[in-house]
Amino acid sequence: MKEDTGAPVVALVADLLFASKIRGAGGPVETATRADAVRERVERGAVRLVLVDLAVREDAVGLIRWVKESSEAEVVAFGPHTYAELLEAAREAGTDRVLARSAFVRELPGILRERKVEGGGAG
């Protein structure tokens, strides 16, 4: 797999407003609203972290499973706490961490900092 110089974090998000909140949390983050766009980005290489908004029902759990089988990237999934079945399905698919959306928003800067992706730093 050829490595590229794209962002080390890619996020599947349900809406553009929330995408801007994720990008504003620090570090280079690419966002997409479709699972196939995230797959393409992971296939290009150098992705260390995939963020999956479970509100994007279009194959979010399938994407998690694929990322865990196809790459070394860590996966953090998040969604409304009312999505109990989907949150559990994400856990079963191999997600490294599953968070309610409110916890995700609160913890995102730390998640990015822990993975040393802020400002494009190498890990």
d(CA 35, CA 85): 20
Report yes or no on whether pTM surpasses 0.85. yes
Nearest to 52 by CA among 91, 85, 82: 91
**Torsions phi, psi for 49 (to 5 deg):** -145, 130
Q: Where are the domains of the chain?
A: 9-115
CATH for 9-115 (3.20.20.70, 3.40.50.300, 3.40.50.2300, 3.90.850.10)? 3.40.50.2300
Per-residue pLDDT of the chain in tens (123 residues, 90 and over written 9): 444 445 799 999 988 888 988 988 887 899 999 999 999 999 998 899 999 999 987 789 999 999 999 999 999 999 998 989 999 999 999 999 999 999 999 999 999 888 765 444 433
